[in-house]
Amino acid sequence: MSLPEATNLIWSDILLEHKQIDFKFFAAKIFIGNAKLIYKDDPTPQNLQKLTKELRELFAKNLNLPTVQEDLKKFYK
């Protein structure tokens, strides 16, 4: 499964809870929970862009993990 581009709205949809995904990748669960708190304190477009970039980088660095591959399939459902 390929990784969506950084400009794909799926990343912000996940952080803004427009798309609900039950992640198996534990690091993503932790990051997303933390990112939501950070965004709540600073809800600017620049901050959202920074957080979505970091979320994508987390997935990119761990692309070979089975849980990441499983979660990526959920992006397209």
Q: Do 23 and 29 form a contact (C-beta atoms < 8 A)?
A: yes
**Would 4 be classed as within a structural domain?**
no
When pLDDT is averaged across residues 21-36 and rounded to a whole number, the result is 97
Structural domain range at position 59: 10-75
Query: What is the amino acid identity at position 15?
Result: L
The four Cα atoms 76, 25, 20, 48 give a dihedral, to 10 degrees, of -90
pLDDT at 5: 95
**Would 28 be classed as within a structural domain?**
yes
Number of domains forming the structure of the chain: 1
**Would 23 be classed as within a structural domain?**
yes
Task: For 44-67, write each residue's pLDDT tens digit.
Answer: 999 999 999 999 999 999 999 999
pLDDT at 77: 81
**Would 63 be classed as within a structural domain?**
yes
pLDDT at 62: 98
Rounded distance between C-alpha atoms, residue 63 and residue 56, angstroms: 10
pLDDT of residue 20 exceeding 90, the answer is yes
pLDDT of residue 76 exceeding 90, the answer is no
**Would 2 be classed as within a structural domain?**
no
Average pLDDT over the chain reads 96
